[in-house]
Structure 1
């Protein structure tokens, strides 16, 4: 069963452009590790420090494999180290997606 990860970030407002660059890199990387990235969603109106990201893996075990592989990948390691520069906090929530026409 597929699993979607919803990430909620509290972004330092002065680093929003840097965070956008960071997010664009992860969109490509998640695909390389077998997931489907649905994009980053940055503040537009309202709260100016909250951003979201959504990506789906075919299963929880596929997501766990991505976590293990990305922890060893030099590009991912560099990005992991940059995150505290842009973000004061982030939370991860796992959801079961329901896509149009999908049968159980």
Structure 2
């Protein structure tokens, strides 16, 4: 079953360019590792310090394989370093969601 992650960011609005660079790196990494990145959603009106990212993997196992790259793969380390070095992200929360489509049937466990 596919799993979609929603990352809710609180960002430093004065570092939007840095956050956009950070975001572009993660889009490429998710896609490189077999996920589908649905994009980053940046402030337009209203609260100027919120951003969202959405990406999907075919399964939780596929996501866990992607996560094994953290702290090991040089591209992952460099992308994460953008966050820490620039301070563009103040905090984030990650939520795992599963799709419920019109034709989906929920089975009881």
Instruction: Please report the TM-score for the alignment, with normalisation by the length of structure 1.
Output: 0.90
Task: State the partner residue of 1:82.
Answer: 82
* Alpha-carbon separation, structure 1, partners of 2:104 and 2:34: 19
* Alpha-carbon separation, structure 1, partners of 2:36 and 2:102: 16
Q: Name the SS of the counterpart of 1:66 in structure 2.
A: helix
Distance 1:95 1:81, change over 3 A: same
Give the superposition deviation at 1:98: 3.7
Unaligned runs of 5+ in 2: none
Task: State the partner residue of 2:56.
Answer: 56
* Alpha-carbon separation, structure 2, partners of 1:27 and 1:100: 28
The structure with the larger Rg is 2
Aligned length: 104
Unaligned runs of 5+ in 1: none
Give the superposition deviation at 1:25: 1.5
* Alpha-carbon separation, structure 2, partners of 1:39 and 1:99: 21
Higher percent of residues as helix? 1
Aligned pair partner of 1:91 in 83, 90, 93: 93
Task: State the partner residue of 1:17.
Answer: 17
**Contact 2:43 2:50 (8 Å CA) reproduced:** yes
Runs of 4+ more than 3 Å apart:
98-104
Give the superposition deviation at 1:16: 0.9
CA RMSD of aligned residues (A): 1.8
